[in-house]
Amino acid sequence: MQINISQLQKIYGQQTVLDIDQLQISKGELLGIVGNNGAGKTTLFRLVLDLIQASGGEVQLNGQSVAGSEHWKTLTGSYLDEGFLIDFMTPEEYFYFVASLIGMSKEAADEKLRFFSRFMNDEILEQKKFIRQFSTGNKQKVGIIAAMLVQPELLILDEPFNFLDPTSQILIKRMLKEENEARGTTMLISSHNLNHITEICSRIILLEKGKIIKDLTPSNDDLQEIEKYFSVNAD
């Protein structure tokens, strides 16, 4: 899925929290978004998903404005936070519900879920628990799996490595890469962990106070440049 962002602005009161002049993301690109807290990563995702109204500009998915159509919803999978989970369902029920919304049968959903079996580590399915009773890490897994289950053309994950154990972090990276290579899924991933981002992303943008200040393709030099940016900020 091709993403075009132009003149996109989000202003709260007097404060501009996002201001992106132009950003094109090609089909099959795995874009990593990094930046400190308050840089505008989640705001950007919410604007792409039409969850908040832009103060100016627009986001187009495959040439259609997200605010003007809903067709993109069947092609998109996303997980930003726990607000994306129906916490009084069991993971199975939630997965089947998500699958049913795009007309996927239970059998097909089960087949897809097998792909995530190692990631789930026998802690998600058949637990006889509602999502609200799971640990934060396992809730995160449920959200990520639900987003990927529908085999979207565009996958958006906000801080997917948070709350996950090291094994799960490695697995999710592997799964994202596989999915990207096998199906050409366009992915937008944000993280505070530079190593994760540089390891899987084909392109990285650095946000600062709502603006894109760097747009890089990962290489050792680029990684050093980003590390330098964060260490200077810490000093």
Partner 1 sequence: MQKKSYTCSRVLKSNYRKDLMFFTFLQHAWLSLRRAHYFERSIGIKLIIGFVGLSMLWYIHLLARILPGFLQEFYPDSSAHELYFSVLFVLFLSDQLMRLLGQKLPRHKIAPYLHLPVPRKKLASYTLLRGWLSPFNIYLVLVSYPFLRRVIVPDYGQTVFWLTIIGLLLIAGLSHSIVIWAKSSEKRGLVIWYAGLALAAIATWLFFSEAKEASINFGLALMSGHWAAYAALATPIAGLNYLALQNLQKSYSLVITPSASKFQGSGFMGRLFARIPVYGPYWDLEWKLLTRNKRPRANVYQWPFAIFVVLAMITSAFNESTIISFYPILLMFMGSFGFYHLQYTFSWESRFFDFIAVSSIDMKTFILAKYYFYTGAALLQLILILPVVWYFQPAAVPMLFSLMLYATGPVFALLIYLGVSNSTRLDPNKKAIFNFEGTSGILFVSILLIFVSLVPVAVAGMLLPWGKKTGIYVSTAITGLAFISTHKWWLSATARKFASKKYQNLNKYREQ
- Which helix H or strand E contains 225, and what residues bound it? helix 220-234
Considering only CA atoms, which of 40, 66, 44, 53 is closest in space to residue 156? 44
CA distance 154 to 50: 14
Q: Let me know how long the chain is.
A: 235
> Residue 131 or residue 171: which is nearer to partner 1 going by CB?
131
> Residue 132 or residue 174: which is nearer to partner 1 going by CB?
132
> Residue 87 or residue 110: which is nearer to partner 1 going by CB?
87
Closest separation in Å from C-beta 146 to partner 1: 9
CA distance 70 to 208: 30
Read off the tokens for 226: 């980003």
Closest separation in Å from C-beta 124 to partner 1: 14
Q: Which residues bind partner 1 (CB under 8 A)?
A: 49-53, 70, 73-74, 76, 78, 80-81, 83-90, 93, 97-98, 100-102, 127-130, 132-133
Closest separation in Å from C-beta 147 to partner 1: 9
Read off the tokens for 28: 């099959």
> Residue 127 or residue 202: which is nearer to partner 1 going by CB?
127
Closest separation in Å from C-beta 86 to partner 1: 5
Q: How many CB atoms lie within 10 A of CB 22?
A: 11
